Structure 1
Amino acid sequence: MAEITLELQDEKIGKELYSYQKGAIDQIFEKFETAPNDYHLLYQLPTGGGKTVIFSEIVRQYLKNHSKKVLVMTHRVELCRQTSEMLTSFNVRNKVVNSTANLDDQAEYSCFVAMVETLNNRLNDDKLDISDIGLVIIDEAHYNSFTKLFKFFEKSFILGVTATPLSSNKNLPMKDNYDELITGESIEDLIKNKFLSQAEIFQYDMSLTSLEVGSNGDYTVKSSEDLYTTNSMLDQLLNTYRSIAKGKKTLIFNNGINTSIQVYYTFKAAGYPIAHLDNTATKKQRKQILDWFRETPDAILTSVSILTTGFDEPTIDAIILNRATKSLTLYYQMIGRGSRILQNKSKFTVIDLGNNTHRFGPWGANLDWQTIFRSPNFYMDRLLDDDELESNFRYKMPEAIRSQFGKSEEVYFDIIATYKEAIAKGESSKVVLERSMIHHGKICVENSEDVYDALALAKLLNDDIDHRIHKYAKCISKSTHNFLTWLKEDYQKKLNAYLRKNFDEVFEQIHGYPPED
């Protein structure tokens, strides 16, 4: 696409606009001219598409052609600073309205930038004159914290911008606060035209039924930390990084500070360069960590969602979703952190350890944002819950373990089909686990010379046993944590006992001759 250089008073502005950005600006200004002065317009563009560039040029043109002022609202302090700097690069003189700002000189400014909570306090204290605000721009408009301020701007044109026009609160749909949605370029088109990098997604079938959903509609921190701080989950994260992302600059997203800290110590003990960052870090600590991350080619940064917005680091090569989310917006924001393009970067890696790709579809797939905007509940209600997602999973042994069972043609055992068959014959459901255990015993014997080899192989089946136990528990509709723990321990004891008692017999059945003494 052609680049369009904008000029102001014979001086080049410090940014260049692409044709799709100019097209969006033309569409939005057409609404300025034809819609009522109090119209609420929402504009969607994927992360990395340049939303801040677009609305900064809108502010520049608006102030040039209108006598009224502009207010830009953000939800975080960092975004306030970044937005102010971008507006300045467009020759827009602006004032940041923060908690310490002196507003005695506000009459000298035509553009203000404010964080929503600070602005709310200033407006309620009558400290900011908004009588002449003609245009209000809301960055990351899907956050509902902005809506409480709409009452102050009943005569202003409101422009919301977001990558995902889906409210963060199911009970407060965006269609109730915006009259119309304009959609920008799709991720697919931005990748095709080399404005964004292509995501190579590695997804894993994860057992997440222990997760609980909180009042905000997403998984609770406690249930996430209970799951993702287990040794098996930390080991899977580390092993997955080693096999797919080792040596790449990697950003890990977690749900919970303790999880991120445990991830830090796990990678640190393995000898990898890693840092942890959460919202308790001071500005100085945050800057030091992000500077280190930027300058270190193989750096790993484990975090707790605070880098989903207002963070732009194009050198990121890999994103690991070490968490599950029910938020489509968060899913797109997390992966979008790796989509920035560089001269030598056209692809980036995504490792999904939260079934998020199963839940929402691949990042970059074209979504019908107009339908989602108009009927958000219809879209959300069609998403599969964890039980439905996991009912379609088929456990696949990691290659390192599967190689230990190389003499077995098939290591998969269908718990659900076996359960249905047993029930149809009027048998007890207990026979399902008995037949599963016999199958496990068979593949252990197939790949062993003696009972001690078989018992050693049985220790490698923990994840497979866990998967089968969860499948069985769903079949009998009984899945409390204590029950599952007992069932797994009982299964492992019985498998070991079965191998000790029946090794010689099973070996002879398989090979046609008894094992050597």
Structure 2
Amino acid sequence: MQAEEEGERKELYNYQQEDIDAIFEKFEGKPDNYHLLYQLPTGGGKTVIFSEIARRYVEKYNRKVLVLTHRIELSKQTSQMLTGFGVKNTVIDSAVKELPYDNDFSCYVAMVETLNNRLKDKKFHMDYVGLVIVDEAHYNSFRKLFTYFKNSIFLGVTATPLSSNIELPMHETYDELIVGEPIKALINRGYLANAVMYGYDVELTSLKLGINGDYTVASSDELYSRSIMQDLLLQTYMLRSKGKKTLIFNNGINTSLYVYETFRAAGLPIKHLDNRTPDAERKKILSWFKKTPDAILTSVSILTTGFDEPTVETIVLNRATRSLTLYYQMIGRGSRKLPNKDFFTVIDLGNNAQRFGLWSEPVDWQYIFKNPEQFLENIRTDAEIESHHVYIMPDDLREKFSKTMHIAFDVEEEFKISTDNREKPKAVIDRSIRQHAFMCIENSETISEARKLAKELEPDIEYRVKQYSKLLSKTTKNYREWLIEDYKNRLSIFIGRIFQRYKDAETEEEVLELKKL
């Protein structure tokens, strides 16, 4: 067994030193089975902190340290960092079958499954380990090892003290939580770059929740592979991030491959990465991404941990998630600070900031740690989020209707007028169709041009129908979908029926009469 090559020792910042001192104060006088959880945002230097904790613990107590990780890449990175801090360590991977009792390593770094198998087979004996550090502690695969270390102190480290398994809450595993420096303070003190966030209201009603509480890959692929979503992604990239190094997160491999083809067809420098990519190809892609200033990398969540590329300038959330941890992990990939990088861009195409709040906003981690079920129950639903969405016509589309002075249509006000006049509710839809039709006719020279413009109104049509449906007592999803299709068909027919009469009208009075039809 060989320790990893010597890494570079990092200088500790003041807040890191303060947190380390606070953690050692907590250790004082505690029983051997004491479990402490430490929260620090992504980019705050968790690996640096627990490497120094390992060094000080070995020096102070003359007992060994074990660091648990959930991926081999993290094990190697951690080992290098520990070596940089002068901690003699080794990685316990699948090649390590025996561990002599009298070895001279003061620290072990191990993946959970590998270590669990060795301990079950009684190949290793680790009763001499005094401190167990659990990296990415919100993963619950670590708990199976706890029974082997009943005489050890545990330190869990995470950016988000919310268990990935609601059945195994963190407060049942850890005695207390220490909260580190918040994101806003790290930004203000110059340790993290600030996020400039751009959100786009997305209709997520087609997404389905899986047994893990997050959206299923199948329903995400179905939504985000649609041409309208691919177009939105490309347009927002061109507007907000063209020429910047960009990381795109997707929920499904199919979506990521669609993104790759869409961007490649637009002549943009992009590569795709997923968990099936061979190691050699993965290394080649990541090397290309590092060296290429305007590189775009589309991936499927595999770069949320253990990936550190400070030159990333834009994060695109091309997915929705109900995982608070994943939300912070994805955005955190862009938060690394560089001398010429004070800000980075976040493009949110999944209503995620509306669900969880802005990335840099304060979070009550103590409440989440102690009351995870209440927190999860109070996450805003998609229906609630979308009830506040307001459609605003993009500037480039508004220019296509430049001959129309007023394009707004207040569905709620029109519904009230219909009710007061004892009209049927569908009169609202009739008036909306008429207004849309004249917008298209006024700004076109031919019927085909007008109908082409009508197709560009689809987001506005969907928004109006959704507003109308909310005002009815009960509507189903199928009825709303039928209403939208019926609206588009009737709009096309009305344009054909009225177009020539409008163009032939010689006076304003004739036009006004037509608009009453």
Question: Normalising by structure 1, what TM-score?
Answer: 0.92
Aligned residue in 1 for 2:266: 270
Give the deviation of 1:175 after TM superposition: 1.0
The equivalent residue for 2:364 is 368
1:4 equivalent in structure 2: none
* Corresponding residue number in structure 1 for 2:173: 177
Query: 1:190 aligns to what SS in structure 2?
Result: helix
Matched residue type, 1:319: I
Cα distance change on mapping 1:414 and 1:390 into 2, 3 Å: farther
Q: Tell me whether 414-423 or 368-377 shows the greater mean CA deviation.
A: 414-423
| Alignment-derived partner of residue 88 in structure 1 | 83
2:99, 2:124 within 8 Å by CA — same for their partners in 1? no
Between 441-450 and 193-202, report the one with greater CA deviation: 441-450
Q: Which moved more, 1:322-331 or 1:64-73?
A: 64-73
Deviation at 1:148, TM superposition (A): 2.0
- Is 2:9–2:81's contact at 8 Å kept on the other side of the alignment? no
Is there any run of 5+ residues in structure 1 with no aligned partner, and where? 1-11
The alpha-carbon deviation at position 384 of structure 1 amounts to 1.3
Q: Deviations over 1:195-244 (max 9, x none)?
A: 00010001000000110011000000000000000111111111111111
Q: Which amino acid letter does the alignment assign opposite residue 254 of structure 2?
A: N
- In structure 2, give the amino acid aligned to 1:23: E
| Residue 129 (structure 2) pairs with residue 133 (structure 1) | yes
Q: What residue is the counterpart of 2:153 in the other structure?
A: 157
Distance in 2 separating the partners of 1:385 and 1:425: 35
Counterpart CA distance in 2 for 1:308 and 1:16 is 25
Number of the residue aligned with 2:319: 323
User: 1:385 — aligned with what?
Assistant: 381
- Confirm or deny: 8 A CA contact 1:80 1:114 kept in the other structure: yes
Deviates more, 1:42-51 or 1:277-286: 277-286
Deviation, structure 1 residue 431: 3.0
In the TM superposition, residue 144 of structure 1 has moved relative to its aligned partner by: 1.4
Whether contact under 8 Å (1:446, 1:510) holds in the other structure is: no
Whole-angstrom distance in 1 between the partners of 2:449 and 2:308: 52
Query: Structure 1, residues 60-83: CA drift from partner, whole Å, max 9, x if none?
Result: 010011132111001111111111
State the shift of 1:13 in Å: 7.2
SS at match of 1:305: coil
The reply to whether residue 22 of structure 1 matches residue 17 of structure 2 is: yes
Secondary structure at the aligned position of 1:182 is classed as strand
Measured against aligned partners, the alpha-carbon deviations of 1:17-72 in whole angstroms (never above 9, x if no partner) come to 00100000000000111322211101010000000000000000100111321110
Structure 1 residue aligned with 2:3: none
When structure 1 is superposed on structure 2, of 409-418 and 187-196 the one drifting more is: 409-418
Q: Quick one: which amino acid aligns to residue 158 of structure 2?
A: T
Choose 138-147 or 442-451, whichever is displaced more. 442-451
Q: Are the counterparts in 2 of residues 94 and 111 from structure 1 also a CA contact under 8 Å?
A: yes
Which residue identity lines up with residue 391 of structure 2 in the other structure? Answer: Y
Partners of 1:21 and 1:504 in 2: CA distance: 74
1:51 and 2:41 aligned: no
How many pairs are equivalent? Answer: 504
Q: CA deviation at 1:451?
A: 4.3
Maintained 8 Å contact 2:37/2:156: yes
Change (3 A) 1:106 1:223: farther
Structure 2 CA distance for partners of 1:513 and 1:148, relative to 1, 3 Å: same
- The aligned residue for residue 295 of structure 1 is 291
Task: State how 1:66-81 maps to structure 2 within 5 Å.
Answer: 66-81=61-76
Q: Does 1:187 align with 2:187?
A: no
Answer with 412-421 or 300-309: which moved more. 412-421
Helix, strand or coil at the partner of 1:107? coil
**Contact 1:13–1:91 at 8 Å: present in 2 too?**
no
- Secondary structure of the 1:258 match is helix
Report the equivalent of 1:339. 335
Letter in 1 for 2:249: F
Separation in 1 of the partners of 2:506 and 2:149?
Answer: 82
The DSSP-based 3-state class of the residue aligned with 2:457 is helix
1:413-452 alignment runs, 5 A limit:
413-419=409-415, 422=418, 427-449=423-445, 451-452=447-448
Q: Which residue of 1 aligns with 2:4?
A: none
1:83-131 per-residue CA deviation (whole Å, 9 max, x = no partner) reads 1111111111111111111424453122111111112111111122111
Gaps of 5+ in 2: 1-6, 513-517
* Counterpart residue type for residue 349 of structure 1: T
Contact 2:97 2:118 in 1 (8 A): no
Distance 1:131 1:424, change over 3 A: farther
Residue 213 (str. 1) matches residue 223 (str. 2): no
- Give the partner amino acid of 1:461: L
Match of 1:33 in 2: 28
User: Any idea what the Cα deviations from partners look like across 1:337-369, whole Å, max 9, x if unmatched?
Assistant: 000011111100000000001111111111111
Structure 2 CA distance for aligned equivalents of residues 133 and 202 of structure 1: 48
Give the 3 Å change call, closer, same or farther, for CA 425–120 of structure 1 in structure 2.
farther
Match of 1:503 in 2: 499
1:196-211 equivalent positions in 2, closer than 5 A: 196-211=192-207
AA paired with 2:324?
L
Instruction: Quote the offset at 1:426 in angstroms.
Output: 5.7
Structure 1 position 479, deviation (Å) = 4.1
Structure 1 residue 485 displacement after superposition: 4.6
2-structure distance, mates of 1:436, 1:171 = 49
The normalised TM-score by structure 2 is 0.92
Residues 1:107 and 2:116 are matched in the alignment: no
Correspondence 1:401-420 to 2 at 5 A: 401-419=397-415
Tell me the equivalent position of 1:9: none
Q: Which SS does the other structure have where 1:456 is aligned?
A: helix
What SS does the corresponding residue of 1:103 show, helix, strand or coil? coil
Separation of aligned partners in 2, 1:156 and 1:25:
18
Which AA in structure 2 matches 1:442? Answer: F
Q: Give the distance between the partners of 2:211 and 2:94, measured in 1 at CA.
A: 31
Q: Report which stretch shifted further, 290-299 or 151-160.
A: 151-160
Structure 2 CA distance, aligned partners of 1:106 and 1:287? 36
Distance, in Å, in 1 between the alignment partners of 2:202 and 2:471 is 18
Instruction: Verify the 8 A CA contact 1:276 1:303 in the aligned structure 2.
Output: yes
Q: CA deviation at 1:456?
A: 3.1
Shift of 1:506: 6.0
Is the contact between residue 138 and residue 161 of structure 1 (CA under 8 Å) also seen in structure 2?
yes
What is the DSSP-based 3-state SS (H/G/I as helix, E as strand, rest coil) of the residue aligned with 1:114? strand
Structure 1 residues 426 and 383, CA gap change in structure 2 (3 angstroms): farther
Q: Deviation per CA, 1:399-424: give whole Å up to 9, x if none.
A: 21111112334423344554466467
Q: Which residue of 2 aligns with 1:467?
A: 463
Q: In the superposition, relative to structure 1, how do residues 29 and 513 fare at CA in structure 2: closer, same or farther (>3 Å)? A: same
CA contact (8 A) 2:502 2:511 kept: no
Shift in CA distance, 262/156, structure 1 to aligned 2, threshold 3 Å: same
Q: Are the structure 2 counterparts of residues 428 and 130 from structure 1 closer, same or farther at C-alpha, using a change threshold of 3 Å?
A: farther
Which amino acid in structure 2 is aligned with residue 382 of structure 1? Answer: N
